[in-house]
Amino acid sequence: MSTRNFSAPTPRADAPRTPAPRTTVPRLYEDVGAQPVPAPASRPDRRGVHLVGDGIDVGVYSSRATRVDLCLVDVAPDGSLTERRHSLRGPVHGVWHGHVPGVRAGQRYGLRVHGPWSPPRGQRHNPAKLLLDPYARGIAGTTRLTPAVYAHVVGEDLAPVDGTGSPDPRDSAADVAHAVVVDDRFDGAVPSPRTPWRDTVIYEAHVRGLTMTLPGVPDRLRGTYAGLAHPATIDHLRSLGVTAVELLPIHAKMDEPHLVAKGLTNYWGYNTLGFLAPEPSYATAAARAAGPAAVLAEVKGMVALLHAAGIEVLLDVVYNHTCEGGVAGPSVSWRGLDSSGYYLHDDHDRGRMLDMTGCGNTLDLRRTEVVRMVLDSLRYWASEVGVDGFRYDLAVTLGRNADQFTAYHPLLVALATDPVLREVKHVAEPWDLGPDGWRTGQFAAPVAEWNDRFRDAVRTFWLADPGAAAKGGSGRDLRDLATRLSGSADMFGYGQVPGGRGPHASISYVTAHDGFTLADLVAYEHKDNSANLEDNRDGTVDNRSWNHGAEGPVPSDSPAADVLPLRRRSIRNLLGTLLLSPGTPMLTAGDEIGRTQRGNNNSYSQDNATSYLDWNLGRWREDLLATTRHLLRLRREQPVLRPERFYTGRVADGDRVPDLAWLDADAREMGAHRWHDPRVRVLQMLRSGGGGHADVLVVLSSSLDYESVRLPEGRGVDLELAWSSEWESPSYAEAEQDRDPWSLTAAPGEVVLLAPLSMRLYLAGGERTGPAGDG
């Protein structure tokens, strides 16, 4: 093990100061006895490791270190490790840097940092720990949670021996993942489809779960980046009608100690080990064997193939915390580099970390270096990997100045002004666990937001209220539901420009990766997270679900089987409301085929069949898939379903009907007394197509009884029934039209009978879309 010193000797404090000579031999070469020939200059303004000329340039931020060593790690055939250490120059504004000749792509490396050990001051430098470069673009190996990976002394149970007070002397190199020098050139990029927001439909999926059992995907590709871009997967996405996949985190990750102790893993991946490196375990075995460059190439290939199919790729990213946990957590990167420089600490007690995320630590976005790290990561994934946007986990943390949130935080402003990032999509999860953490509707352009109020209002109308009524209770009035179905102007209609961000800033959803699946919402009133081994304490209890009278699975030959048709109709109601409303809809992978997690509403640790999509479709699941395709086709073909501006409720110049009208079951305008009456369970939503396109009427009834509904006069033209949640499949419409061409047509003012818990979509006038079915 050799050490090369790249930094000039530190002069004694009492040494006399002498003028610097006009020319000097670079310390880089003088210290190693090399000839004083010109050398490529390293760049302290650039972070990470980059191939340059005859070697690599290195730059790492560690503002309180007294010395930083780049450690080139070599693995012998027997698995033993050797290191070649090179002390970097610096610091320059906190950055240690150097140029190391002779290093090529594929070289493993890490960092060892010397400096103060002072836990009360938030400083935990320990050169016995080999640290991962925060800018690593490739990672080899995995981190094993042994006592050696902790900077402080812990026991075999990984609990602190003396309250994290003493530095641990054990070398961690054999137990941690290593950064790898990567040549990330790629010649197969395909331009982004750049789908406009008005046409965007998001499909939230997990790389593994989507294809682990998907027919047509070869076994060797299942659950991988390559599998996600396989023709069988793309065929499903395209036939469904989605325009973007939003992937749960694919940044390199690490399992939490409490999961490892239980023999579980962090399946979802919200525990980031590296912000620029892809997670290796999602790559094919061939790519993993070939090394990190091949893993990265597989990710880029996935993006290219999806682009070629017209599908955008959004990444779920976690910049609010890291995998190192709280003060008692392991030291694998940022903690050992500069804990108080990267993490948010209590200004009055520097040894205490503040937790706005529920994960033990919070990245300190007040600090320029942390903001830079996030922006560098985003730019890399957008410009080099080619992704089309990002969904920000616990995004409120990214806009905090310690405990105060602002939508105009420098990081959030950069999303609108950076020449790379302003060209991609941005979606916020608009809450965190800090003070005043719920901020839905409070971000600024160009950020769109998950609209949890849409989710809650739709679940309440279709499930919670009828469930309460079935037990003799009462529900809520319809004011909030109408606000959500019209685009949530109360939250997204304001901003620095008139009209705010528009309806598309609302990412409308009914389910997501966390919580019940769509099929479980209609089958469970109580979560069953026992498989997570947390005594069912984890996961939300605010599900707003309804089991329709029987909890969990109901066999078709069971005495309770009469709930099954109603459950299926409720699923169609939820889907129809989502896909036919203004805003940007997000569909959770598997909901289109009735996926169940058997009551688990927090499957973050279930890397198994609980979380994987089951592609063995029975009849009702095939019908549900056909229904989803039909609804998305209607959305695609009817512009009035995708408004770019909020409604006014007034008649536009040249039109005859308001852009939006709310009507009761008698086709009368909803009055104040009706809006405030929780007994009102029928609502009609009439939207104008402006004369050039079809008007759209959506009729909703969450009544437990049949309801007579008078259709509005509108423009005085017939209405065509384009879809009804009473249909098990859109093929029903085709059969009806074949039997009687007028069976799906209603006259203005005609009274129709709606089944309990059902909704309908009518089209009137304007451009017609052809047969109501998909045939």
Q: How many CB atoms lie within 10 A of CB 735?
A: 12
Which residues, 6 or more positions from 2, have their beta carbon under 8 angstroms from its beta carbon? Answer: 84, 85
Which H or E run includes 373?
helix 368-379
Q: Tell the burial category of 690 from Cβ atoms under 10 Å away from its Cβ (0-12, 13-18, 19+).
A: middle
Polymer length in residues for the chain:
775
Q: How many CB atoms lie within 10 A of CB 279?
A: 21
Radius of gyration, alpha carbons of the chain:
29
Q: Which two tokens stand for residue 280?
A: 């290796």
Q: How many CB atoms lie within 10 A of CB 591?
A: 26
d(CA 420, CA 523): 45
Q: Chain centroid to CA 387: how far?
A: 13
Give, rounded to a whole angstrom, the gap between the first and last alpha carbons of the chain.
71
Strand bridging mode 178-180 / 139-140: antiparallel
Query: What is the DSSP annotation of 267-278?
Result: SS--SEEEEEEE
d(CA 510, CA 521): 10
Which residues, 6 or more positions from 198, have their beta carbon under 8 angstroms from its beta carbon? Answer: 504, 642, 644
Question: If you search the block for the tokens 């389910």, which residue do you land on?
Answer: 511
d(CA 311, CA 315): 13
d(CA 435, CA 404): 8
- Given a contact cutoff of 8 angstroms between Cβ atoms, the answer to whether 211 and 223 are in contact is yes
d(CA 744, CA 721): 5
d(CA 325, CA 159): 13
Q: How many CB atoms lie within 10 A of CB 291?
A: 17
Q: Tell the burial category of 351 from Cβ atoms under 10 Å away from its Cβ (0-12, 13-18, 19+).
A: middle
Give the closest residue to 669 by CA, choosing from 649, 694, 654, 655: 649
Query: What is the DSSP annotation of 692-733?
Result: TB-EEEEEEE--SS-EEEEPP-TTS--EEEEEETT-SSTHHH
Question: If you search the block for the tokens 């769509």, which residue do you land on?
Answer: 518
Which residues, 6 or more positions from 721, have their beta carbon under 8 angstroms from its beta carbon? Answer: 733, 744, 745, 746, 760, 761, 762, 772
Residues forming the active site: 393, 429
- Given a contact cutoff of 8 angstroms between Cβ atoms, the answer to whether 58 and 100 are in contact is yes
Which sign does the torsion angle of CA 5, 6, 8, 10 carry? Answer: negative
Q: Tell the burial category of 79 from Cβ atoms under 10 Å away from its Cβ (0-12, 13-18, 19+).
A: exposed
d(CA 691, CA 535): 58
Give the closest residue to 87 by CA, choosing from 98, 103, 76: 98
d(CA 535, CA 294): 41
Which H or E run includes 290?
helix 285-290
Give the closest residue to 502 by CA, choosing from 584, 578, 575: 584
